[in-house]
């Protein structure tokens, strides 16, 4: 909570600098409503006292401002809501939410996009801009409500100091409601995991990718039961908290109403004994009635402000995360070489994902020679993708160093390094664009170069695919926008073509680039890429790293790195590793036997 005032102040400044007139209007109507509250009660007292004294003209003179202030109060109530909503929505949608998206995109690496703690908070904040800015205006509203309470206290105190005790009673419902809200918040936090599980299982039930296996295995009832159990668990805890909060609220308002009644009885008694005027009675009733309303607004604003903690906390967390990420930018100072001479050297590279209990890579040391085609193989989870993520600077090693021709990778500017590399990641994007746009995105500078796009498609064996599409390069892709839907392997070929847009990268990473492609085409694509990579590598020393499970497809690589449980267990050319009879030879023999068995049952 200590950082909340700072956040509200920065949101107010943002509101002031971007939507000044709306901000001024909102503040003005809020302040006018405070003045109108006091003016209405005072004018009413004067009118009633004049009437009782038989002073007709004075009564009418006082009644006019009383009616005007009363009318103004109602108009201002609507105007406050309209102005507040308008400024809140504009600042949230036009400033805060786009700011969050910019911040996410500006963070170096992708670690944050794979961390559930980051993603959970991002989800809470992404569409919560209105709640965030609204919380700042709620604070302003609470201030004006407190000012109204002070005005009411002054007016009641002018009748009798005893009535000030009645104002104190107004705090009881506020405290009770806040306590109740805390119970509700705690119950939300306690059941967050069950709610998340319920939501994930609900999504899984309608996920097209998961549907075939769910149908075939008959898992739907089991998943449904698990989902219902998660929902019931969350519902039970939340219902109990809601009942307790309602009981507290009821208790608080009962105390307030009892005090209200006692206050009115007191003033009527004083009036009967001549210590107070009839106008005082009217004033007390008017103020007391509006006090109830003011207390309600104050309580609601305070509760809404504390509820906004569910957005404010994640927002502050994301900001701190961004600040910390920016505090340790790449040291810089080293330039990305024009061409590689030695290659990329890994020295004792160790890495563990945030929240994971084991190292994905442990003490990996090797040289990826300039101009070479390097295959990275190993069983599932052995660390292959992690290795290429470190090479593409999506993550940094926890210890150890990656040297690019002797220059520490983490001293290169990530943007400059990425401008000189190219990659087909394991999870490639399916861009819902036209074919030419989808491929051209591989190098924005070449987006308009049709020849280059066609060449890139040829390099990925995707030229025939494009010829078969209704509008060739201009065919829109993706089911979402009524475009043509491609098969997994066809999408993958487009991703390969995208990576081929950069002609001579210093590092080309192909992480299972052909996993969804049939074995014959895979061999053809990889052979073609390797030939191209070797030719390009001779000029620039560019290195090609291919991650694959099909060992026969990468047997032509210059160097094979074999990973097991995050460790480099073997390295060398294919033939040498086969002769050595170690883990690689065993994996290779097992795959060859399986292939033979398949062909000769």
Ligand X SMILES: Nc1ncnc2c1ncn2[C@@H]1O[C@H](COP(=O)(O)OP(=O)(O)OP(=O)(O)O)[C@@H](O)[C@H]1O
What residue ranges bind ligand X (CB under 6 A)? 114, 353, 356, 360, 378, 380-386, 426
Using a 10 angstrom Cβ sphere, with 0-12 exposed, 13-18 middle and 19 or more buried, the burial of residue 101 is exposed
Give the residue carrying structure tokens 């560019």: 542
CA distances from 581 to 377, 406, 430, 531, 575 (A): 16, 33, 41, 28, 10
Shortest reach from residue 540's CB to ligand X, in Å: 27
Per-residue tokens: 43:
């004018």
Q: Least distance from C-beta 392 to ligand X, angstroms?
A: 13
In the bound state with ligand X, the residue whose beta carbon lies nearer, of 97 and 512, is 512
Q: Which residue is associated with the tokens 């209990």?
A: 357
Nearer to ligand X, 382 or 514 (CB): 382
**Residue in the block written with tokens 């309580």:** 299
Name the 3-class secondary structure at 500. Answer: coil
Shorter beta-carbon distance to ligand X: residue 116 or 365: 116
Listed residue (565, 542, 538, 554) closest to 591, CA to CA: 554
Among 501, 389, 523, 492, CA closest to 442:
501
Q: Which is nearer to ligand X, 273 or 356 (CB)?
A: 356
Distance CA 154, CA 164 (A): 8
Of 330 and 383, which has the nearer Cβ to ligand X?
A: 383
State the helix-helix crossing angle for 519-540 and 488-499, rounded to 10 degrees: 10
Instruction: Give me the least distance between CB of 116 and ligand X, in Å please.
Output: 9
Cα gap 331→109, rounded to integer Å: 15
Q: Min. distance of Cβ 233 from ligand X in angstroms? A: 26
In the complex with ligand X, which residue's Cβ is closer, 288 or 388?
A: 388
Minimum CB–partner distance for residue 361 and ligand X (Å)? 8
Can you state the angle between helices 129-159 and 4-18, rounded to 10 degrees? 100
Query: Is the CB of 182 or the CB of 567 nearer to ligand X?
Result: 567
> What is the smallest separation between the CB atom of 358 and ligand X, expressed in angstroms?
6
Nearer to ligand X, 382 or 490 (CB): 382
As measured in angstroms, the least distance from the Cβ of 107 to ligand X is 15
CB of 379 to ligand X, least distance (A): 7
As measured in angstroms, the least distance from the Cβ of 429 to ligand X is 17
What sign results for the dihedral spanned by CA atoms 498, 500, 501, 505? positive
CB of 248 to ligand X, least distance (A): 42
Do the Cβ atoms of 575 and 592 come closer than 8 Å?
A: no
Rg (CA), the chain: 35
Contact (CB, 8 A) for 304 and 135: yes
- Structure letter (DSSP) for residue 410: G
**Closest approach of Cβ 393 to ligand X, in Å?**
16
Q: Are 506 and 335 in contact (CB under 8 A)?
A: no
Q: How far is the CB of 351 from ligand X (least distance, A)?
A: 9
The end-to-end CA distance of the chain, in Å, is 70
Closest CA to 456 of 506, 422, 507: 422
**Closest separation in Å from C-beta 570 to ligand X:** 15
Report the C-alpha dihedral over residues 311, 317, 318, 322, rounded to 10 degrees: 160
CA neighbor of 418 nearest in space, from 188, 109, 145: 109
Nearer to ligand X, 384 or 420 (CB): 384
Nearer to ligand X, 217 or 356 (CB): 356
Cβ of residue 311: shortest distance to ligand X, in angstroms?
A: 26
Gap between the Cα atoms of 372 and 349, Å rounded: 20
User: Which CB, 285 or 569, lies closer to ligand X?
Assistant: 569
Distance CA 431, CA 453 (A): 15
Q: Which is nearer to ligand X, 293 or 426 (CB)?
A: 426
Nearer to ligand X, 132 or 577 (CB): 577
Cα gap 509→523, rounded to integer Å: 17
Please give the structure tokens belonging to residue 525: 């694509």
Tokens 């009217």, residue located: 282
Residues 360, 566: contact at Cβ < 8 Å? yes
| Residue among 360 and 494 whose Cβ is closer to ligand X | 360
Task: Tell me how crowded residue 311 is: count the other CB atoms within 10 A of its CB.
Answer: 21
What number of residues does the chain have? Answer: 601
């Amino acid at each position: 909570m200590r950082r909340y005032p700072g956040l509200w102040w920065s949101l107010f400044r943002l509101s002031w600098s971007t939507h000044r007139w709306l901000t001024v209007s909102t503040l003005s109507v809020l302040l006018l409503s405070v003045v109108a509250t006091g003016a209405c009660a005072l004018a009413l007292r004067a009118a009633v006292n004049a009437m009782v004294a038989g002073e007709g003209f004075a009564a009418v003179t006082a009644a006019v401002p009383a009616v005007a202030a009363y009318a103004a109060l109602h108009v201002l109530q609507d105007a406050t809501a309209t102005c507040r909503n308008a400024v809140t929505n504009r600042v949230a949608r036009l400033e805060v939410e786009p700011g969050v998206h910019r911040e996410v995109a500006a963070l170096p690496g992708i670690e944050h996009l794979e961390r559930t703690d980051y993603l959970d908070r991002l989800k809470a904040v992404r569409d919560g801009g209105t709640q965030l800015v609204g919380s700042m205006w709620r604070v302003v509203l609470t201030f004006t409500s407190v000012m109204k309470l002070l005005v009411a206290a002054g007016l009641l105190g002018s009748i009798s100091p005893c009535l000030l005790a009645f104002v104190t009673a107004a705090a009881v419902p506020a405290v009770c409601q806040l306590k109740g809200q805390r119970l509700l918040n705690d119950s939300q936090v306690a059941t967050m995991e069950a709610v998340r599980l319920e939501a994930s299982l609900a999504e899984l039930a309608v996920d097209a990718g998961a549907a075939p296996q769910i149908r075939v295995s008959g898992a739907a009832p089991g998943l449904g039961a698990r989902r219902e159990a998660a929902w019931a668990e969350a519902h039970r805890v939340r219902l109990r908290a809601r009942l307790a909060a309602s009981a507290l609220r009821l208790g608080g308002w009962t105390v307030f109403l009892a005090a209200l009644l006692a206050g009115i009885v007191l003033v009527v008694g004083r009036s009967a004994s001549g210590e107070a005027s009839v106008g005082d009675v009217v004033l007390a009733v008017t103020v007391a009635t509006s006090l109830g309303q003011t207390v309600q607004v104050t309580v609601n604003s305070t509760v809404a402000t504390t509820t906004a903690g569910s957005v404010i906390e994640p927002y502050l967390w994301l900001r701190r995360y961004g600040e910390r990420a920016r505090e340790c930018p790449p040291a810089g100072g080293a330039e990305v070489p024009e061409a590689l001479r030695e290659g990329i050297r890994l020295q004792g590279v160790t890495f563990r994902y945030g929240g994971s209990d084991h190292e994905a890579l442990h003490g990996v040391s090797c040289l990826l020679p300039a101009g070479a085609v390097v295959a990275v193989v190993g069983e599932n989870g052995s660390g292959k993708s992690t290795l290429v993520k470190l090479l593409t600077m999506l993550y940094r090693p926890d210890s150890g160093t990656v040297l690019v021709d002797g220059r520490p990778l983490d001293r290169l500017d990530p943007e400059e390094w990425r401008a000189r590399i190219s990659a087909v990641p394991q999870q490639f994007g399916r861009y819902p664009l036209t074919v030419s746009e989808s491929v051209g995105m591989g190098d924005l500078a070449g987006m308009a170069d049709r020849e280059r796009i066609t060449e890139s498609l040829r390099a990925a064996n995707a030229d025939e695919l494009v010829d078969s599409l209704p509008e060739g390069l201009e065919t829109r892709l993706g089911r979402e926008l009524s475009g043509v839907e491609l098969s997994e392997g066809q999408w993958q070929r487009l991703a390969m073509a995208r990576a081929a847009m950069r002609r001579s990268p210093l590092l080309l990473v192909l992480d299972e680039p052909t996993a969804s492609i049939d074995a014959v085409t895979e061999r053809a694509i990889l052979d073609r890429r390797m030939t191209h990579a070797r030719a390009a590598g001779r000029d620039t020393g560019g290195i090609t790293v291919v991650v694959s499970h099909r060992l026969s497809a990468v047997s032509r690589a210059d160097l094979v790195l074999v990973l097991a449980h995050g460790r480099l267990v073997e390295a060398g050319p294919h033939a040498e590793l086969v002769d050595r009879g170690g883990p690689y030879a065993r994996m290779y023999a097992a795959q060859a036997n399986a292939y033979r068995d398949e062909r000769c049952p």
